[in-house]
Every structure is written in structure tokens, then in C-alpha cells.
């Protein structure tokens, strides 16, 4: 089973690297030293591009290409923003990086900031991660004292500093333009695009915005070379990806997998320990709660962007939620529907009203008030919500419901005919990864 913990240094070292001395001893800041001594910003951009690294927040857009969209020599300031608003249900990989390896994120941000000509970057962290924010606060102070951040970094003449910005509880602020609105001191509601943040982002200035896991992958790419990274896994989905596995598995936790060389079966049953004894797999949402659900027949799908798309789902943020056959798919789908109803920001009517309707219909099925026509009613809603809104939240709300209905229709019919869904015995026995 291929497990390669070569991208995130705390995994390679097998120990937290929250101390600057420990991070340096593990090879930290070598990439920054190399970049400032031997590379021009364009060399860095070219390395990001050649590595094939794709955005790890959910969309999977090529990072180097995104960075190349920023105008050169803009009269406005250029900004770098790290999306640390990790809120996708089932996802806790960025939490691990910030907790165990804050300097690799900082180093990656200095590299990215220098590449795009930014002198100020922001880390927007969700309010619930105050513990992780304090770890980052300390790391930022240490990085500044060590000369890795601030003015004249490593006496290179390069200036780049970081501000940690704390959110206050809103999933939608993980949507990049919602995040920018929040960072600008407004309600965190997504913007109409275009213009994209590369052209008019924070304070209407050119802005590169990337996820924690993406930015933290940059130091090894710069240090070991773009070709080294590009050679890991398949051509279109190179590198490693951290998957957070949770739910009905015996070893929930984060696992760094080599793209294309690891199957869903290896992730769920090999790494995460599989189901408890006497139980079998019912369903899994491989890339977070916003992706179409998969079943047992998909277990041998390799984990990479293309293969998962071919299986009808998305790699997403890598928050893999697993449910065994003690769980009810209708009840699980309702729980996700409730999440999106709660987190819809309310700006677009199809999403605000649609998420409410979907939750209501699923709720009455679970409560024993469902009617067989409700299945058609649900299906009629999907097209009135998806594609009629400003951001991806609504698509994320529809995907798990639409796919569950397609794959497990018989379960929905049974719940309606049997007059509801009994609550399953919760899995209280927990083993840590």
C-alpha cells in the first residue's frame, strides 16, 4: 500500500514541528533560502506551474495557472490570501497542518507572495479554530524574529508580512469571494464573478487565494524541484493529497495518499481500518459533504481528480465521510441538507429557499410524513437551484441529495412506505488513528 509522507514535513518527521528550531532541523526554510538566493519571482511561478499542483480546497484548479492570472506590474497592491476557513463537513486536514506544521504554511506563503509580488498576505482562519490560530500567532512571531517574515527577509531586500484574520462562524466564508468580503469587513456573501480575485480581489486589488494544503505544498516543490513533484502520481493529478476519513471507520484520521496509486478501498479499509466487525459499507462521500455519494461498487476507483470524476463524484476537499449499513441514507442526506440550509448565506433566492425546501421534504420523510410524490418534488427542485446562483454552495447542497436519490432510491421509497426512519445505534466505540 503506497503511503508517502514526503510533502508535509511533520508527517515525514513523524512529530509536530511547532517550534522554529525543530522545523529548521527538519529541513524547513531551505526552500525559501534557495528561492531568495537563486530564483526570480518568474522562476517561482514557473515552478508552481510545472509541478502540476492543483488547488486542495475543493475545486482542484491548477495553482500555477491561477497565480499566472494576476496582472504583472499592477498599479494596485497585490495580495496573497490563505483560505484557512476549513469548514467542509468531514474535512480536518488544514487543522492538522496548522496545528503540527505552521511554519511550512508560512514558508509556502512567503514563496507564493514573493512570486506574485505581494508584500502583505492574510490567513483567514475560521473562528472555531481559535486553538490553531494561537499556534499560528506564535509561529508568526517566531518567523518574524527569525528573519523569515517581515522586512528584508533573510537580507534579500524582499518584504512580505502576514496577518492572521479570525472568522466568526460562517461556512460561506470558505467560498473565496465570501472570504474576501468578510476580510473587507462586510457580510461574508459571495460576489458575482467575473471579475475573479486574480484581477479584482481583496480591496479590488489583484489577489491570489489558495487553500492551506496547497500553499504548504510549495516549499518541497521549490526545494526538491517541480519535476520531483510532477513525477508523483498521474500526470493530470500529481502529488499527494491529505484525506480526512471519518464516520463509521475504526481508525478515523488524516492520511496522505499518492494520487492515482491509492484506491478508495485502500483508503477506507487499509488506512482507516474499515468498518467495525459485523458491519459492511453502505455509502461514502469521498471529497466532503458537497460531492455526490458513492457506494460499494466504487471502492476500486483510484483516488485522483480524473478517476473520481469518471466515477461520478469529485475529489473535493478530501473529507471522506463513511457510513456503514447501520446508517440510513435518508437520515444522513437530511443531515447534510440541514447543514446547507443553515449555511446558505441568503443572498440568492434559489439557494436560500431551495435548501429550506429540500430539508423540509427530507425531514418529513424521516418523520414518517413523507409521500411518494415527494421524490419527484425533490427532483424538480435540483434544476431550479443548481446553476442559478452566484456560488458553489447550492451545487454542494444538491449533489449529495441528487446522487443519493439516484443510487439509493429504494431506501427512500422504503422510508416513505414504512412511515419513517428509526435512529440507528450510534457508533460510540472510537479508535484513534
Partner 1 sequence: MTEAEIRAHIDPIRHEYAEGRSLILPALKFAQTEKGHVARADLDAIAAATGFSAAYVESVASFYDRIYLEPVGKRVVSVCVTLSCMLRGSDEVLEALCAHEGLPDHGHHAGGTSSDGEITIQEAQCLGYCDRAPCIQVDAEETVGPLTPDEAVAMLDQLREAPAPVAFWR
Note the residues at the interface with partner 1 (CB under 8 A). 77, 86-92, 95, 120, 126-131, 161, 163, 165-171, 182-189, 202-203, 205, 244-248, 252-254, 285, 289, 319, 321, 323, 327, 332, 335-336, 339, 342-343, 345, 423, 426-428, 430, 432-433
Q: Between 349-366 and 329-343, two packed helices, what is the crossing angle to 10 degrees?
A: 150
How far apart CA 410 and CA 113 sit, in angstroms, is 52
Nearer to partner 1, 72 or 187 (CB): 187
How far apart CA 349 and CA 353 sit, in angstroms, is 6
- Minimum distance from residue 199 beta carbon to partner 1 (Å): 17
| Residue 213 and residue 56 in contact, taking contact as beta carbons nearer than 8 Å | yes
Nearer to partner 1, 230 or 392 (CB): 392
- Minimum distance from residue 367 beta carbon to partner 1 (Å): 11
- Minimum distance from residue 338 beta carbon to partner 1 (Å): 8
How far apart CA 209 and CA 122 sit, in angstroms, is 9
- Minimum distance from residue 418 beta carbon to partner 1 (Å): 20
How far apart CA 132 and CA 153 sit, in angstroms, is 25
Cα–Cα distance list, 283 to 41, 276, 295, 304, 328 (Å)? 46, 15, 5, 19, 10
Nearer to partner 1, 44 or 334 (CB): 334
CA angle, residues 216, 57, 397, in degrees to nearest 5: 165
Nearer to partner 1, 228 or 357 (CB): 357
Residues paired with 166 in a beta bridge: 125
Residue 164: closest CA among 189, 181, 141: 141
- Minimum distance from residue 78 beta carbon to partner 1 (Å): 12
Nearer to partner 1, 222 or 271 (CB): 271
- Minimum distance from residue 428 beta carbon to partner 1 (Å): 5
Nearer to partner 1, 51 or 421 (CB): 421
- Which residue carries 475560521 as its cell? 126
Amino acid at each position: 500500500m503506497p503511503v508517502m509522507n514526503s510533502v508535509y514535513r511533520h508527517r515525514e518527521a513523524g512529530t509536530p514541528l511547532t517550534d522554529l528550531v525543530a522545523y529548521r532541523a527538519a529541513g524547513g526554510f531551505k526552500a525559501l533560502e534557495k528561492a531568495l538566493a537563486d530564483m526570480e519571482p518568474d522562476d517561482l511561478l514557473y515552478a508552481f506551474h510545472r509541478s502540476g499542483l492543483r488547488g486542495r480546497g475543493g475545486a482542484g484548479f491548477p495553482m500555477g495557472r491561477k497565480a499566472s492570472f494576476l496582472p504583472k506590474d499592477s498599479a494596485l497592491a497585490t495580495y496573497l490570501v490563505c483560505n484557512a476557513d476549513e469548514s467542509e463537513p468531514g474535512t480536518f486536514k488544514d487543522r492538522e497542518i496548522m496545528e503540527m506544521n505552521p511554519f511550512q504554511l508560512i514558508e509556502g506563503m512567503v514563496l507564493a507572495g514573493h512570486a506574485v509580488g505581494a508584500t502583505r498576505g492574510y490567513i483567514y482562519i475560521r473562528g472555531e479554530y481559535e486553538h490553531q490560530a494561537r499556534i499560528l500567532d506564535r509561529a508568526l512571531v517566531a518567523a518574524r524574529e527569525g528573519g523569515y517574515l517581515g522586512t528584508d527577509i533573510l537580507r534579500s531586500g524582499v518584504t512580505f508580512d502576514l496577518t492572521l484574520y479570525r472568522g466568526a462562524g460562517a461556512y460561506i466564508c470558505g467560498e473565496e469571494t465570501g472570504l474576501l468580503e468578510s476580510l473587507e469587513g462586510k457580510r461574508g456573501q459571495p460576489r458575482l464573478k467575473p471579475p475573479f480575485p486574480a484581477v479584482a480581489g481583496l480591496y479590488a486589488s489583484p489577489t491570489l487565494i489558495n487553500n492551506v494544503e496547497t500553499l504548504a505544498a510549495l516549499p518541497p516543490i521549490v526545494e526538491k524541484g517541480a519535476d520531483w513533484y510532477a513525477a508523483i502520481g498521474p500526470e493530470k493529478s500529481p502529488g499527494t493529497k491529505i484525506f480526512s476519513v471519518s464516520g463509521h471507520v475504526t481508525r478515523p484520521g488524516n492520511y496522505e495518499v499518492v494520487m492515482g496509486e491509492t484506491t478508495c478501498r485502500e483508503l477506507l479499509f487499509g488506512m482507516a481500518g474499515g468498518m467495525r466487525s459485523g458491519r459492511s459499507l453502505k455509502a461514502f462521500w469521498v471529497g466532503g459533504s458537497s460531492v455526490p455519494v458513492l457506494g460499494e461498487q466504487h471502492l476500486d476507483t483510484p483516488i485522483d481528480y480524473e478517476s473520481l470524476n469518471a466515477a461520478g463524484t469529485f475529489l473535493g476537499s478530501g473529507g471522506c465521510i463513511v457510513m456503514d449499513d447501520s446508517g440510513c441514507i435518508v437520515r444522513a442526506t437530511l443531515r447534510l441538507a440541514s447543514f446547507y440550509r443553515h449555511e446558505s448565506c441568503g443572498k440568492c433566492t434559489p439557494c436560500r429557499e431551495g435548501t429550506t425546501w429540500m430539508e423540509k421534504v427530507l425531514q418529513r420523510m424521516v418523520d414518517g410524513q413523507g409521500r411518494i410524490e415527494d421524490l419527484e418534488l425533490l427532483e424538480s427542485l435540483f434544476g431550479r437551484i443548481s446553476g442559478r446562483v452566484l456560488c458553489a454552495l447550492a451545487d454542494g447542497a444538491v449533489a449529495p441529495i441528487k446522487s443519493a436519490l439516484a443510487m439509493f432510491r429504494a431506501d427512500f421509497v422504503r422510508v416513505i412506505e414504512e412511515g419513517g426512519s428509526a435512529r440507528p445505534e450510534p457508533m460510540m466505540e472510537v479508535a484513534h488513528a
